[in-house]
Chains A and B, each alone.
Chain A
Amino acid sequence: MIHFVLLISRQGKVRLTKWYSPYSQKERTKVIRELSGLILTRGPKLCNFVEWRGLRVVYKRYASLYFCMCIDEDDNELEILEIIHHYVEVLDRYFGSVCELDLIYNFHKAYFILDELLIAGELQEPSKRTVTRLVAAQDSLVETAKEQTSSITNIIAQAAK
């Protein structure tokens, strides 16, 4: 089972956290601090796995962003690595060549997508197409209900400068 998912930037800034096992706010902060210390310092050619408090953390770096998932000892690390990749691919499809900024400003979307991919700490949908379709269906409802459409891209572009 996946205990939590973390997205951390190379500078150690948190971009997304999702907890499938109960952790108090205090523990969460501690976990993030410990793990970013552990993972961000690792060299590029080492394993993508870290042993941590009797659990395993599988991480993968995409550009400046580290995707980390914490799993049980007897889970298949390579499979988790693929799930991470899976998530990134869905994000990529959704945002259209995703970059860190997309996730910074639309973190709630990243959450929605994650919710379609993982549930209760398990992979619920192995098909990327299904995930994309479901997220799109939710968005299209949102679309119709939306009051204002256009300006967002501009604002992001400005903010990004």
Chain B
Amino acid sequence: MGSQGGFYQSKEFLDLVKSIGEARSKAEEDRIVLNEIETLKRRISEPDIPKRKMKEYIIRLVYIEMLGHDASFGYIHAVKMTHDDSLLVKRTGYLAVTLFLNEDHDLIILIVNTIQKDLKSDNYLVVCAALNAVCKLINEETIPAVLPQVMELLAHPKEAVRKKAIMALHRFYQKSPSSVSHLVSNFRKRLCDNDPGVMGATLCPLFELIARDVNSYKDLVISFVSILKQVAERRLSKAYDCHQMPAPFIQIKLLKILALLGSGDKQASENMYTVVGDIFRKCDSSSNIGNAVLYECICCVSSIYPNPKLLESAADVISRFLKSDSHNLKYMGIDALGRLIKISPEIAEQHQLAVIDCLEDPDDTLKRKTFELLYKMTKSTNVEVIVDRMIDYMISISDNHYKTEIASRCVELAEQFAPSNQWFIQTMNRVFEHAGDLVNIKVAHSLMRLIAEGFGEDDDNADSKLRSSAVESYLRILGEPKLPSVFLQVICWVLGEYGTADGMFSASDITGKLCDVAEAYSNDETVKAYATTALMKIYAFEIAARRKVDMLPECQSLMEELLASHSTDLQQRAYELQAVIGLDAHAVECIMPSDASCEDIEVDRDLSFLNDYIQEAIEKGAQPYIPESERSGMLNISNFRNQDHHEASSHGLRFEAYELPKPAVQSRIPQALIASTEIVPVPEPMYPRESYQTTMPSIPSDAGSAELKLRLEGVQKKWGRPTYTPATSTSNSTSQKTVNGTSQGDGASTVSSMCETYDSRKPQVEVSHEKQKLAASLFGGSSKTEKRPATGHKAAKASSHMVEKSHVPKSSMEVASDKATSAQQPPDLLDLGEPTATSTALQLDPFKQLEGLLDTTEVASAVNGAPAASISPDIMALYVDTAAGIHNKNDADLLSGLSNPSVTNMPGTTAMPQVTQSSSKRPNPKDSLEKDALVRQMGVNPSSQNPNLFKDLLG
């Protein structure tokens, strides 16, 4: 038996394993382990333990740790063990540390030295052991310490060592691409290694490199194809065979790489067709690994430039997968189908019954995969059936992670393809009711916005019908126990805004319900806040309509409670409610206009109406206001932070000896500059030309300081930015121009898609068999859709939307992405502007540049880019690639070209809000634009929820 080659294990250890094996309960097991920990703690710290004994202790520690207990007391001994001379002991030491320590553990620094030494060892087994540890333990900081040795090992005579060195380098690249980016060419060299194992290992890092940057590896297409050809023709040694398949793992890796290289590249793809076709033919579909290769072929075919013959072979394989009895193959078949329908949507139809079978399969995994497929093939014709099914399934599961995912998919599909607003609201209600707390708050806001804005057309009647049906349904839903908080917020807002609007329900009905909500969910302050503001609105509308207001007794008691609430937010709302009730009708009309949640609020953040007053004060000898950022104390702090940042990024840990101190480090110079200006409290002595008014009460960064510290603020903003834009689109009822604009745009596209869907779908449904019925409603659309545009009975605009929609399932996103890319432009332009602003600040008038920038931002907000841009740029690129890839190729290239630079150049993008900010305080004619930018910034402030909430509620 092979186990004879093992360590000596004492009776004690075997007993331990045995007793744990026999433990009847988790509690018993825990007790045994705790005992063992006590014993080991005692023993391991005894002096002069023989190595053999120590080794066993370490193995026992590994065992304890494996069972989920903490063995950290012994880590240091494992570390010590790696220092040992004998390979036998060392190997155990390395095994233990790789199992114990994560890459950020403090003890790693103690191992680095040993690893360095071992990498130089002349025994290749020692080197191998050290390389194993390198892959697991070396982190970004310690990479430089071992990098030279690992590089040398790439040329080691033993292939096992070369292989591990490649993988170690790959790991370094994953952890810190910058530290090894200059060594990337070594991977290319190793591709020609004469050992297939090493070559195979090289494919891992190459795959990752190519995934990040396809274009610089296009030259390798020929090499990869010829390697794949050789492998498929069994040129490699039999040792790499696996169930009669020649080196399948290498084939799979190569196919993955080819899929990347051939994506959207006709020329490169053409080189691949023959070899992929060969593999399709040669693959043995009876073994698991053969099917794995076939599946990878399908992935490759669906990713590269389409070739009808290959698509046909792929479709054949898919139908074989789907017809198989094995669930695994069905699963892969569904997955592959999802990939292929992007290219040839008609393929789904022939498999409809198989898909329905999978959907009704008891196997959850298969079911979920099928939902994923349905999600990919949703269009306006089948959205109702699919979303309905999805929600049913969502209700039936308890796995929160998946529930969240499927809920967000339902929302996405509903937003994209909803046939009517009525349906949309009902669907949203169901989603919220069952997965409310898992849904992004943004969704709630967009639902409120939809109800508030209606169709976005001038059909007030339909809008009010929509609203009253929403109110009605919410009043009914309120009877259900335990509703999710987010949903309650929506309900409260809608009831407050529209509860009494159509006169069906009296104010006392609605207020009664709202009080019930506040009482039933008294632990949820947000809900209570929403309810309070809703109450205020109801009463305000009553007053404005010159009706007599009677406050319900329960409402009065609620107010009394809130007036003394610990939450200042609730308290304030309660006081405001009190104040509003005391006002006369006219005043109330002004502060709480009815149905005005979509109107604009102009916020004069410069407080320019105070200018006269300030002027007066200064004339009388008052001190001018110094913005916070220019006060010397503040500057110091940010200065320090900047320095810290520098040191962390440029130095890290050092492993060589310290050099002699130099007089000044280069990177400090900019700070020195700041420091010198910092002594002078007056903002800018250097720019006498500027028309800057010191009197103006200004926001933190004025132009002068922005120049000096531009980079510094960029660094801080970097973290703020991602939440910035999304938030803009969420704060719906703050009624900013931008938000309204886009959502109307979106609304329009959904609306247009809605109207035409019904007639084409209905006749399909009368097939006897239930499954066929379902299949028809799911798949039937695809053949019909082509005809529909011709019958387009709506406005021209609407039908053009439909044409796109019927061709590519997701092409409605295209419209959005068009918008988004135009919104992407400003960051790009800013990108260019920003560096010049910093570097040439001394010669150029910064405002000239800002003016240029302002214009572009104006364009952006005109196209109402902000919310659209909140979809992150690379997703955009992805959409463009996949959805528009074939039909609209030129467009696609252009779009991705536009969006890419902004992805790569993040610092530039982050600088945008800052630039607009500094520009916005200039007193110039572009008032409306400035306000726009400001409102956006305000609505966006993510830190405190209260002020935000307020804006949501106060129409």
A and B found bound together: yes
Which A residues have a C-beta under 8 Å from some C-beta of B? Answer: 13-14, 16-18, 20, 22-25, 28-29, 32, 43, 45-54, 76-79, 81-83, 85-86, 94-96, 102, 104-109, 111-112, 115, 119-120, 122-130, 134, 137-143, 145-149, 151-153, 155-156, 159
In the complex, what residues of A have CB within 8 A of residue B299's CB?
Answer: 76
Is B672's CB within 8 Å of the partner chain A? no
**Given A17-B66, A22-B104, A123-B249, do A153 and B3 touch, yes or no (CB 8 Å)?**
yes
B contact patch SS: helix
Residues of A within 8 A of B132 (CB): 115, 119
Of all chain B residues, the one with the shortest Cβ separation from A56 is B365
From A23, A102, A108, contact of B95 by CB (8 A): A108
B241, chain A: closest CB distance, angstroms: 9
- Give the nearest-CB partner of B203 in chain A: A122
Q: Give the residue name and chain of the A residue nearest to B58 (CB).
A: A108
Contact of A77 (CB < 8 Å), options: B14, B332, B401: B332
Contact between B9 and A25 (Cβ–Cβ < 8 Å)? no
Given contacts A53-B401, A130-B160, contact A95 B95 (CB under 8 A): no
Determine whether the beta carbon of A105 is less than 8 Å from that of B291: no
Q: Which residues of A are found within 8 Å of B365, using beta-carbon distances?
A: 46-47, 49-51
**Interface digits, B157-172 against A, CB 8 Å rule (1 contact, 0 not)?**
0001001100110110
Partner of B328, one of A18, A77, A125: A77
The residue in B68, B98, B132 that gathers the most chain A C-beta atoms within 10 A of its C-beta is B68
A82 touches B332 (CB 8 A): no
B820 within 8 A of A: no
Identify which of A13, A52, A120, A156 contacts B136 (C-beta below 8 A): A120
Residues of A near B273 (CB, < 8 A) are none
A14 and B52 form a contact (CB under 8 A): no
Give A17 Cβ to nearest chain B Cβ, in Å.
6
**Residue of A78, A108, A156 most packed against chain B (CB within 10 A):** A78
Which 7 pairs between the two chains have the least Cβ-Cβ distance?
A: A78-B292, A139-B5, A126-B249, A47-B327, A120-B135, A46-B363, A29-B68
Asked if B402 lies at the interface with its beta carbon under 8 angstroms from chain A, I say yes
User: Is the Cβ of B17 less than 8 Å from the Cβ of A105?
Assistant: yes
Contact B239 A129 (CB under 8 A): yes
**A129 smallest CB distance to B (angstroms):** 5
Contact between A122 and B204, CB atoms less than 8 A apart:
yes
Tell me whether B5 and A78 are in contact (CB under 8 A): no
Q: Does any Cβ of A come within 8 Å of B289's Cβ?
A: yes
Contact B167 A120 (CB under 8 A): yes
* Whole-angstrom CA separation of A78 from B251 in the bound complex: 13
- How many angstroms between the C-alpha atoms of A62 and B360 in the bound complex? 29
CB nearest neighbor in B for A12: B26
Listed by A's residue number, 18 A-B pairs whose Cβ atoms lie within 8 Å are A76-B295, A77-B328, A82-B249, A83-B249, A111-B62, A112-B95, A125-B163, A126-B200, A126-B240, A130-B160, A130-B239, A137-B125, A138-B125, A143-B5, A147-B8, A147-B52, A149-B4, A155-B9
**Of B85-93, B680-688, B920-928, which binds chain A?**
B85-93
- A-side contacts of B102, CB under 8 Å: 22-24
Interface string of B1-36 (1 = CB under 8 A from A): 111111111010011011001000000000000000
Residues of chain B within 8 A of A85, CB atoms compared: 288
0 or 1 for each of B81-119: is its CB under 8 Å from A? (1 = yes):
000001110011001001100111000000000000000
Contact of B6 among A25, A47, A106, A124 (CB under 8 A): A106
Assembly CA distance A46 to B327 (angstroms): 6
Q: Least Cβ distance of A93 to chain B in Å?
A: 8
B3 touches A109 (CB 8 A): yes
One digit per residue, 1 when the CB lies within 8 angstroms of any chain A CB and 0 when it does not, for chain B 65-91 equals 111101000000000000000111001
Choice from A53, A138, A140, A145 contacting B86 with Cβ under 8 Å: A145
- The 8 Å CB contact of B160, one of A51, A105, A129, A134, is A134
Kindly list chain B residues whose C-beta atoms are within 8 Å of the C-beta of A159.
14-15, 17-18
Q: A108-B59, A155-B14 are in contact. Are A120 and B331 (CB under 8 A)?
A: no
CB contact under 8 A between A141 and B88, given known A49-B365, A119-B135: yes
Among B21, B104, B170, point to the contact of A120 (Cβ < 8 A): B170
Which one of B6, B66, B201, B369 contacts A109 once the chains associate, using CB atoms below 8 Å? B6
**Pairwise interchain contact B163-A124, C-beta atoms closer than 8 A:** yes
- Report the minimal beta-carbon distance from A40 to chain B, rounded to whole angstroms: 14
B401 touches A95 (CB 8 A): no
| A96–B128 alpha-carbon span in the complex (Å) | 25
Shortest CB distance A14–B (Å)? 6
Q: How far is the CA of A126 from the CA of B240 in the complex (A)?
A: 6
B91 adjacent to A76 (CB under 8 Å):
no
- Cα separation A79 to B369 with both chains bound (whole Å): 18
Does A124 lie within 8 Å of B167, measured CB to CB? yes
A29–B26 CA distance with the chains assembled, in angstroms: 13
Q: Is B252 engaged at the interface, CB distance under 8 Å to the other chain?
A: yes
**B242 proximal to A (CB < 8 A):** yes
> Which B835-861 residues have C-beta < 8 A from chain A?
none
Q: What residues of chain A lie closer than 8 Å to B327, measured between beta carbons?
A: 45-48
Q: How far is the CA of A140 from the CA of B87 in the complex (A)?
A: 11
A57 CA to B773 CA, complexed, in Å: 34
A residues in contact with B88, CB < 8 Å? 141-142, 145-146
- Looking at the assembled complex, report how far the CB atom of B525 sits from the nearest CB atom of chain A, in whole angstroms: 30
The smallest beta-carbon distance between A147 and chain B, in angstroms, is 6
Q: Which residues of B contact A107 (CB under 8 A)?
A: 62-63, 66
Contact of B1 among A142, A143, A153 (CB under 8 A): A153
Chain A minimum-CB-distance residue to B245: A82
Chain A residues with Cβ under 8 A from B239's Cβ?
A: 127-130
A83 CA to B242 CA in the complex, in Å?
A: 11
Q: Is B316 an interface residue (CB 8 A)?
A: no
Asked if A82 and B167 make an inter-chain contact with CB atoms under 8 angstroms apart, the answer reads: no
